[in-house]
Structure 1
Amino acid sequence: MALIYSHKLASIGDKENLYNLEAKLKEERKHASTTSLYYAGLFLSFTAKYEKAADYINKCLRKDPNYTDAVVLKSWNDMYLDVKMHMSIQDCLELVLSKNDKNVEALLGLAKLKYLMKEHDLSNLMLDKLIIYYPREVVPLIEKLKNEFAMQKWEAVNDTIERVLSLEPTNSEALKIKVFISLCKNSDYIETVDQLNTFFNVLENEETHNAYQFYDTAQIFSKACGRSSTVMSQVFRFAQYASQMYSNNVDYLSEVGYQCILQGKYKDALSFFKAASKIDSNSITALCGLTLCEMYEHGASDQVSQQVELLFEMQGNNKFPILYLLSAQLNSKSPNAISFLSQAIESQLKIASTYPYSLVYLKHLDPEFLLQVFKEYKRHLPKKPFVITSYILYSQEDKNSSTDTCFNVLKAICSACPGLVPALFELAKLKFQFGQPLEGEKLALQIGDLDNTHAGSQVLLTQIFIQLQQFSKAAQCLEMCLSYNFKVRDSAMYHFLNGVILKSFNQPQDALSSFSTSIQILTSKNNSGNKQIDAEFNIIDRATLYFLTIEVQSILGHFGDAGKTMQEAIQEFSYTSEENRLLIARADIALGKGDIDNALDTLNEVKPGQPYYFQAHSKMAHIYLKEKKDRAMFTNCFKEIVTNHPMADAHTMMGDAFMSIHEPVQAAESYDIAFKGNPTNIQLVKKLGNALMKMHEYDKAIQHYENAINLCNDDDLRFEYLELLIKLKQYDKVDSVISSELNQPYNKDKDTPTLTRRIKLLLIQAKSRELKNPTATNTNLILTEAKDLQGAVLKRVEIDSKGDLQEEKEKLSHILCLLAKVKSVKEPMTAANLLSEALIYSPRNPDTLLALSKLYAQMNNPEKCEQTCSVLLNADPNNESAAVMMADLAFRKVDFDTAQRHLSQILSVKPKSCEALAQLIEVQWRRGKLSEVETMMEQARQVMEKREDPEYSYCEGLYSAYLGKVNSALRQLNVARRSARCASGAAKRMVLLCLSQHAHSDTLREDDTRILALRTAEKLLAEVNPSERKGLQALLQLASKQKSNAERVLQELLPSISEEGAHEDPYLILAIANAYNIVKQPTRAKNILKRTISSIPWTPEKADGLEKCWLEVADIQIGSGRTEAAKELLAKVLIHNKSCTAAYQYLGYLTEKDQNYKGAAQNYEQAWIHSAKSDLSIGYKLAYANLKLKKYPECIVVCRHILKVHPEYPKIKKEIFEKAKTNLRT
């Protein structure tokens, strides 16, 4: 039997010998044993003669029904003969396994059956048993590899390939799948060529006479390489080798012919097909090839048409799909063309669907053929524009079945070959043109990841971003496209898109220049532009180009030129589908001349049902709104559009119109109607969600997003939904949703998209937890996992050279910064290392350098802090944060002059920098020169865009507080609470001001003002940074001066004073001291306050609290007669704050006590100036000191000020004012 087969295969002409062999076979068959019958069946099954094999196997089993090997072989043979008999096959195999559960062939057979039934997980379970039993065997691993391949678990596929090749380096199945991954998944043609070359050498050495293996390889990869010339040249070698080995094999010769067609070598192809048809004149494959050559070389003709008809007749019911494509091309102008194309697709997909996803499936799917069918089909789709500059509905046709067919065929190709760039590009364009720009954007970005020099995808992204009105992104993509391929500049489309972008940037003159260049390229007879880019520049885009040119010329007042362009447009577009756009262009000219009524009348000529009715009436609506300020007519125009054409897109347009005039309720109604007609439109989901948010219908918005996610399963929607929950402070729900999502099996895969999705979810979860509890460190593990995963993604991008490497580095840098922020509280050194690592991935990143500077400052390492700030300022000399940081460094060194210089310098460049202004106010206050801030504040006030800017209000509140204007300060700081940056600081200052109002009350009477101040402070505490809250809360409790409250405070605070950080909180120590004073334990109060002098270093954050503690100590020292120690401490206070009124008062008191009235007058005068002359008791003491010094004029000035504010001020008039006047006269 084997000899007969080999004679026929080799086409040996020894007929006598063949006759003798066949006669001998007949004789042997009469007396064959069960063993002979078994091996005959086995041989026939191996040669794919399954029906003949079944006869021999059945005869064998009739002789011996218990022949186990024959039962297993029958199962295998039936599996390939008709897998639909799976129940009987399974029963046979299970019967064998019930007798011997380690029967290798039966286990493999059952696994194979499950594989063919596409039950891949079950198949793998059986194969795992075999792998455990036989760890060094390759066969079970190969079958497992096929299952993993079928499930497209690429990480597992790669792992299994490595495992197979470690056992058998020349395994053809593993090597072929490795080629597939490089070619069809990673789109790495260079790697593919290397691997094909290696595989060819392996086959040449290991499978020298296996022509089918060469032929099969050529068939698979020639159909899935997107006609890449480098890959095709390698694949051609395989087909050529097979045909040379068996030069009389029609299929092998025909395959070489098809390879030549794919390379555009039609004459070479013709010679191979002729050679094949000489061997077998009835070979349909060869005859189809001859017809294709005739068609592609000489075009459609009657001869080709007759050949196709003949081939249809020669075939039975199962026609070659290629014949349907040829019929469609021959009848391209006939309505039957679409029917032929649909049959071509249907028959091709039907053939492939009988196989699990595999290399065999890929060969029968034939992505290259389907792409050719799609390109032919595309000619019959409704025309759509590529440049959409406004909300335009170009056609009002119902959903087109042809469009669905095109989507389905491209999805089938892209699903089978996820890295086939030509198919992805066609699908991206189709998505964009048929109302799915966001899906198109995703695919275009995917193409960029696979091939970062693909200029077409960047042009498409530019077109998408123009439609989405994201012109900055569009400009970036166009620039990137030019960097990939400078020849793009020769295309009309490039200049057209550039003009649209320039127009949006309000550069009409430059836009006009670009539009003119584009028209020139299009109308040039010797058009040498980029034909690849301009191939799909259709009549709609041409019309858009002309009419945008007219619009820009009208804007520039070039009405003569606009008229000429209009005439050219009339000649080109009259009696075409774009004719009505001429009216819109005329309206633009009228509008440019200021003739608004004429423009409206012209637009009104476009009636319902006519092309461009939508554009004309939407333009009318915007003229009513912008030129006539008539909101009613604006909305009425859109209502007319919806009434005449109640389509989903029209309702969406109306919703957009209502949103533009801030009518979210009506917008939501319009979006809802549109949404019901198109519930899977992601853009529409977002628009309706946004409208519900604007209406403050938060529960409805949440429910809307949840329903949409369940329906669409879109990641962008999921992330937007989670951000919405965070915005609504539903942190627990965010945590629950993300935890549930992360635990899903599909989020545990190791492929790059899954890792990227997981990273995003982890970052959102970390953000939510941090907002819920800023002091908690429960984001540590989350961010660590995100860091590790991003590191893995980055390594893959580096190895594969796919995707944006710098973008991935930036992402890792960002995650490292987030992790550093968490670690900075308890592990500052680790945080510094993380930030340093972040700078490796994103060198000289301003935010990272600033965070590192602040961390070094927190770690009390001013040298490294200053060094980092210098690097930042070298990278960005006008970086306000760096300047503020340098000022802060000087501030920490109590070098207020240097700090003032840095801050003044940055404010001269950026007067709006409220961070710098706030710090300058504090620096100038501590320098004792608060009055000099007024100029800077005035400059900032003049450039502020908002009348009530929260950050500027913080600066004003700070200034008012230092001037002693408490009510004004509270009012301004209350506004500052709206700012995320200033909220905590503003709340803290308000609490302190409320406490100071209470402290300066003359009595302990619980009047309304005092109670209100304390209640306000109590409410504000929740907004203060948790790390600063405890001390202020205790001071608030002690405001009542009640002993029970003081005891409670001591009970709560004394245990915590030993905690890390707490012993350095001056407000906490001040609260404990006050509590001791209330419970009459002044010695303990004095002892705990003394800590603040030596053990707590002065920092800007602790400055105010330390100052209060030091003043308390000075007061105690004065009371106990230790005046020198008090003077020393007060001098220390003034070194840190030259505006400290209390310090000057104490020094005045001490010098006055020593009869040193000159010193007393100087100190009281400073106290009087820095209290803004608001504390009249200081004024009294100053007046008295001046009287003693016989400075009568100065004394009188002070007295007059006091009496003006408080005419009945005790004693001053009689004892000081009158005496000074009398003495001055004498």
Structure 2
Amino acid sequence: MAEKDLYNLSKIFYYFRERYYNQAYVTAHEGLKRFVNDGILQFYSALAQLMDVRLHESMRELEQLRNKPELTVATLLALIHAHKQHKTPDREAISEYEVKVKELRKQVDDTALFYAAHTLYIIGKADKATEYIERATKQNPTNVFAITLKGWILIANDIAKESKQYFDAALKLENNFPDAAFGYAKYREIRSNFSQALEYVNRILATKSDYLPAVLENMKLQLCMQDWEQCEDVAQRAFRIDSNCVEAHKYHYLYLLCKEGNYSDAQQAFSRLLQAIDISEPKGAWQYYEISQVVARVCGRNPQILQQSELLLQRALEIDSANPDYLIEGGYQALMANKMNEAIKFYKSAAKTQGENMAAVYGIIHCQILEGKYAEAKQQIEFQHEVQSGNAAELSHLRAILAKYENVLAPDQIVQLFDTAAEQHFKNLRGLPLGKKYLLCLNPDFILEIVREYLNNTTLKPIDSGQTLDPSLRKSSGILEQLTKAVPGLLEGLFLLAKVKYLSGDTNEAKNVLRRIIDQEATYSEAYILLAQVYTREGNTHLAYEALENGLSYNFDLKTHPMYHLIRARILKKEQKYEEACKLLQAALNLPGVKKQQQTETIKTPRTKTEQMISSVPISIQDRVSVYLELAEIQLLLNRVHEASILLQEASTEFQGTSEESRILLTNVDLALKRGDINQAIETLIQIKSDQAYYLQSREKLAEIYLKHRRDKKLYIKTYKELVDRDPTPQALVILGDAYMSIMEPEKAIEVYDAALRQNNRDITLMKKIGEAYIKTHAYTKAIKYYEAIVKAEPQSELRINLADLLSKLNQNDQAQRILDQLLKEEVQNTNFQHAQQVTKAYEIFANMFEQSKQFDETKKYLIRAKENQKKLLKRIQLEEGDIQKENQKLYCNICYRLATMYFDEHDYESAIKDLKEASAIDDRNLKIQMMLTKAYLNSEQYESCEQICTYMNKTFPNDNSVQI
């Protein structure tokens, strides 16, 4: 009997769950070779044909099985479903079967109830299957098939937490039942316990190493654990079992696209994937559709890959041309390819097939916006907003797009609409592990659109140290970190992340990301341009020029890109070669796309390969304005005030009414200051209203003029107070507090910081600022009392380190030691990250105290402990965000440097070199470390190593006099 072959039956069940209906049919037929005329296998064979839309064959086979007692109800339910699939259903037959089902279901045993429940589960009616499976398990609590199916039905009905007990019970009854093990693994996967899920899958493989369903589940779980490489290895293992394994081909294809970003190999992999589906699931419309959806969203709109996703979708539509989901996807992909008319046809066909399909309605509204039919789109959006409960991500997105193209709202209001869309979008990702569904819901294409909108509404000038980070940059960074973690091969995602890091002032992280891009795709010209910008920002004109030349070597057409001219000009400006820079920028102004740019297509048009190499991201309005403003600045440096004035007037006309208009006004302010016209500068800044982009920058500049040029501290503070009056957020209050600190009024700064803290009473950064303000006023007693009050309320607050540090500096070492001893006692019990950071700082404070008392051996001992602890901490945070890593790496390097200094003073040059090399491995651009390493090599007579470091420093720090000496 087939029921005895648990592995074969479980394989059939698995293929049904995964919608591989032809594979379920093939597996059932393989079983029939062993169990000839087995009714159960014949039934699953017929059911597989039914799900594969081979209606006539399935109905004929089902009719032959109706008289088998254990299958009577199941076959009737399958026949009802089959009749309903016909274009002209036989209502009389359906009615007759339904009456028989009602009559028989009360009479049959637990086995018949199981097959009935399983049939309903397979045809997508898990809710109706519940009644049957409940009765089956009550009749026979030891029916392992029924107990396992009950677990699967609970998962299908979103009650996964209750499923565990049934899979547990099934495995106790039959330890070698793969379907129950798969169920338990799925429960663990839903609970995000992937290692335990993998353990249960591997138990099956330990018994039967070539069992394909277990290999495929292992493959998926590797990706759940975010291990693309292991996922790919297991996919290759699946190919050795079945070269036409569709699921393995899907994951291999996604590996090349998402992890490697290798589109040329992906095109070859696509041919094998298509062939595999054609052979294994020739009528499996859903299999073509599912992978087409994912590919379209992760491919970065690569034209060749988009064509492949369209071909997959075409196959699905050839099999099931009236499926509204397939038609809607056709509309979505047509929009991606900028085929507006085709998109409208798809959406209208979907709406006609299924009138209440919201996705079709949203698609039509989207097309209306892109066609400029704003009134119609607005009316539809307002109607949908009224009738819908909640605020769907798609509807929020459409409202944002409409606001953008209507251009009737202020930029910050449009950004708020995109914020809402993004929040709704990311809500749908909660709890999903990395896999096909996650990638589909993540929709990288949508995320890139959101980020582009954020960047369109932020300044493209990198912030200086201590400046407040623009919220749009902060949001973009968080979104892109999540995106590039899931899809590390998406070049545009990485490029935008590098750009955001650069604008946020994090040049080291920007360079790291750009190097990843260049390692992955050496012809990505835009990366070289941005890398040159980063080096220019750091003052390293030699490496900036080298980056541009490297990009040029891969693609000579890069020379025609306006950004190439802009960066070259900035390099020349750094070198004070103003005339050459001026000529370059004048040439840039005449390049296509800089002046009087045609309205860009709303949809990002796929470009040719050459065009993609020249610019993976079209020149933005901010970069166009940058060409004008950079040229104006250079003309001012050349004292050509009149020419700069004419150019800025031209720019004002060119960009009137855009988000960049206020940025041009800011440069006009520099022009007025150059002329010594302070009043004109102030009047220009006052013109920039609170709803315009660059309003915050305008107020910061206005305050600076009041302070530096008017020497008027009252107006300086008044300007920042107006920011608080307009929007009394903690961020605005902190800016005002910082302003008070800059004019040496810490008492008032404390009042403002306190007000900010009342709005956010757990903000540790604010608490630190208040403590530092007390110290600035030399109110050390108040500072101590402030810190003590916080530590008393929260004994493990990280501010106890600040308290101990202050006490040690005031020579109150006994009190400082008590705090630090208590903190170090907690080390064994407390293993969290914040505590580990405090331990390093505690060792450092001990080292400082012993250094003050000239106990150098003790100083060294505690520095070594600090270093060892920090080294462990760095290993723990390898996968953390860049800022966290950077801060802790810097601390580690400082400790290494301090130790090396002590060894150096003791003439222990080998120990000094060891610590300096460890620091250099983390930060090879730290001049202080490189200089000391050179001296250590020199003093230890390691002249060759000394010369190598000198050569490196000359190349890396060409303008530093200390290096030359």
Q: Which consecutive unaligned segments of at least 5 residues does structure 1 have? A: 591-597, 625-632, 659-664, 791-806, 808-813, 826-830, 832-845, 852-875, 881-943, 952-1226
Superposed displacement of residue 353, structure 1: 2.2
**In 2 relative to 1, CA 734–195 (structure 1 residues): closer, same or farther, beyond 3 Å?**
farther
Are 1:731 and 1:769, in contact at CA under 8 Å, matched by a contact in 2? no
Q: Which consecutive unaligned segments of at least 5 residues does structure 2 have? A: 1-76, 601-610, 689-694, 724-731, 777-804, 810-819, 821-826, 849-855, 925-929, 955-959
Question: What's the CA shift string for 1:849-900, capped at 9, x where partnerless?
Answer: 989xxxxxxxxxxxxxxxxxxxxxxxx9xxx9xxxxxxxxxxxxxxxxxxxx
Q: How does 1:1179-1194 map to 2 (within 5 A)?
A: none
Question: What's the CA shift string for 1:96-155, capped at 9, x where partnerless?
Answer: 344454443333222210101112223233333333333332333333332321121234
Identify the residue that residue 142 of structure 2 maps to in structure 1.
66
Identify the residue that residue 401 of structure 2 maps to in structure 1.
329
**In 2 relative to 1, CA 69–431 (structure 1 residues): closer, same or farther, beyond 3 Å?**
same
Identify the residue that residue 107 of structure 1 maps to in structure 2.
181
1:43 to 119, 128, 134: 119
Question: What's the CA shift string for 1:564-591, capped at 9, x where partnerless?
Answer: 5566578779996343543421332x4x
Residue 569 of structure 2 corresponds to residue 499 of structure 1:
yes
Identify the residue that residue 155 of structure 2 maps to in structure 1.
79
Superposed displacement of residue 175, structure 1: 2.5
Superposed displacement of residue 246, structure 1: 1.9
Local SS of the residue matching 1:419: coil
Residue 157 of structure 2 corresponds to residue 157 of structure 1:
no
Are 1:224 and 1:368, in contact at CA under 8 Å, matched by a contact in 2? yes
CA distance in 1, matches of 2:194, 2:667: 57
2:620 to 530, 535, 551: 535
Superposed displacement of residue 57, structure 1: 0.7
CA distance in 1, matches of 2:549, 2:447: 33
TM-score normalized with structure 2 length = 0.63
Are 1:357 and 1:416, in contact at CA under 8 Å, matched by a contact in 2? yes
CA distance in 1, matches of 2:714, 2:534: 30
Identify the residue that residue 582 of structure 1 maps to in structure 2.
668
Identify the residue that residue 319 of structure 2 maps to in structure 1.
245
Identify the residue that residue 638 of structure 2 maps to in structure 1.
553
Local SS of the residue matching 2:163: helix
Report the AA paired with residue 460 of structure 1.
L
**In 2 relative to 1, CA 360–712 (structure 1 residues): closer, same or farther, beyond 3 Å?**
farther
1:385 to 460, 463, 466: 460
CA distance in 2, matches of 1:653, 1:458: 38
**In 2 relative to 1, CA 425–318 (structure 1 residues): closer, same or farther, beyond 3 Å?**
same
Report the AA paired with residue 300 of structure 1.
K
Superposed displacement of residue 51, structure 1: 0.3
Identify the residue that residue 421 of structure 1 maps to in structure 2.
491
Superposed displacement of residue 560, structure 1: 5.5
CA distance in 1, matches of 2:239, 2:289: 23
Report the AA paired with residue 399 of structure 2.
S
Superposed displacement of residue 777, structure 1: 9.7
Are 2:563 and 2:623, in contact at CA under 8 Å, matched by a contact in 1? no
CA distance in 2, matches of 1:784, 1:583: 48
Q: How does 1:838-849 map to 2 (within 5 A)?
A: none
Question: What's the CA shift string for 1:766-823, capped at 9, x where partnerless?
Answer: 998999699999999999999xx99xxxxxxxxxxxxxxxx9xxxxxx9xx99xx9xx
Identify the residue that residue 737 of structure 1 maps to in structure 2.
869
Q: How does 1:745-756 map to 2 (within 5 A)?
A: none
CA distance in 2, matches of 1:22, 1:238: 38
Question: What's the CA shift string for 1:1028-1058, capped at 9, x where partnerless?
Answer: xxxxxxxxxxxxxxxxxxxxxxxxxxxxxxx
Are 1:573 and 1:579, in contact at CA under 8 Å, matched by a contact in 2? no
Superposed displacement of residue 41, structure 1: 1.2
Residue 337 of structure 2 corresponds to residue 260 of structure 1:
no
**In 2 relative to 1, CA 94–679 (structure 1 residues): closer, same or farther, beyond 3 Å?**
same
**In 2 relative to 1, CA 205–34 (structure 1 residues): closer, same or farther, beyond 3 Å?**
same
Superposed displacement of residue 195, structure 1: 1.6
**In 2 relative to 1, CA 15–539 (structure 1 residues): closer, same or farther, beyond 3 Å?**
same
2:221 to 120, 127, 147: 147
Superposed displacement of residue 11, structure 1: 4.1
Question: What's the CA shift string for 1:662-685, capped at 9, x where partnerless?
Answer: xxx9xxx9xx99x9999889xx9x
CA distance in 1, matches of 2:310, 2:431: 28
Are 1:355 and 1:361, in contact at CA under 8 Å, matched by a contact in 2? yes
Identify the residue that residue 105 of structure 2 maps to in structure 1.
29
Q: How does 1:26-425 map to 2 (within 5 A)?
A: 26-83=102-159, 85-86=160-161, 88-296=162-370, 298-308=371-381, 317=389, 321-332=393-404, 333=407, 341-375=418-452, 381=457, 383-386=458-461, 400=471, 406-425=476-495
CA distance in 1, matches of 2:944, 2:271: 49
Are 1:482 and 1:488, in contact at CA under 8 Å, matched by a contact in 2? yes
Local SS of the residue matching 1:146: helix
Residue 585 of structure 2 corresponds to residue 515 of structure 1:
yes
Local SS of the residue matching 1:353: coil
Superposed displacement of residue 548, structure 1: 0.2
CA distance in 2, matches of 1:235, 1:550: 51
Superposed displacement of residue 214, structure 1: 1.0
Superposed displacement of residue 202, structure 1: 0.9
Question: What's the CA shift string for 1:1087-1114, capped at 9, x where partnerless?
Answer: xxxxxxxxxxxxxxxxxxxxxxxxxxxx
Instruction: Provide the aligned C-alpha RMSD in A.
Output: 6.1
Superposed displacement of residue 357, structure 1: 2.6
Q: How does 1:1037-1186 map to 2 (within 5 A)?
A: none
CA distance in 2, matches of 1:212, 1:172: 12
Larger radius of gyration: 1
**In 2 relative to 1, CA 608–237 (structure 1 residues): closer, same or farther, beyond 3 Å?**
closer
> Quick one: higher RCO (CA 8 Å, sep 6+), 1 or 2?
2
CA distance in 1, matches of 2:253, 2:419: 31
Superposed displacement of residue 12, structure 1: 6.1
CA distance in 2, matches of 1:11, 1:634: 83
2:629 to 540, 544, 552: 544
Report the AA paired with residue 304 of structure 1.
A
CA distance in 2, matches of 1:648, 1:470: 33
Q: How does 1:434-449 map to 2 (within 5 A)?
A: 439-449=509-519
Local SS of the residue matching 1:92: helix
CA distance in 2, matches of 1:643, 1:257: 51
CA distance in 2, matches of 1:108, 1:581: 65
Report the AA paired with residue 395 of structure 2.
L
CA distance in 1, matches of 2:486, 2:393: 19
Q: State the identity %.
A: 21
Are 1:600 and 1:620, in contact at CA under 8 Å, matched by a contact in 2? no
Count of residue pairs the alignment pairs up:
757
Are 1:273 and 1:290, in contact at CA under 8 Å, matched by a contact in 2? yes
Identify the residue that residue 802 of structure 2 maps to in structure 1.
none
**In 2 relative to 1, CA 300–768 (structure 1 residues): closer, same or farther, beyond 3 Å?**
farther
Report the AA paired with residue 189 of structure 1.
Y
Are 2:562 and 2:594, in contact at CA under 8 Å, matched by a contact in 1? no
Report the AA paired with residue 549 of structure 1.
I
Are 2:641 and 2:671, in contact at CA under 8 Å, matched by a contact in 1? no
**In 2 relative to 1, CA 413–125 (structure 1 residues): closer, same or farther, beyond 3 Å?**
same
CA distance in 1, matches of 2:315, 2:479: 33
Local SS of the residue matching 2:638: helix
**In 2 relative to 1, CA 650–319 (structure 1 residues): closer, same or farther, beyond 3 Å?**
closer
Report the AA paired with residue 460 of structure 2.
P
Question: What's the CA shift string for 1:993-1044, capped at 9, x where partnerless?
Answer: xxxxxxxxxxxxxxxxxxxxxxxxxxxxxxxxxxxxxxxxxxxxxxxxxxxx
Superposed displacement of residue 218, structure 1: 0.8
Superposed displacement of residue 226, structure 1: 1.5
Residue 519 of structure 2 corresponds to residue 458 of structure 1:
no
**In 2 relative to 1, CA 420–113 (structure 1 residues): closer, same or farther, beyond 3 Å?**
same
Question: What's the CA shift string for 1:309-339, capped at 9, x where partnerless?
Answer: 56567x7547763333223333444667566
Superposed displacement of residue 63, structure 1: 2.4
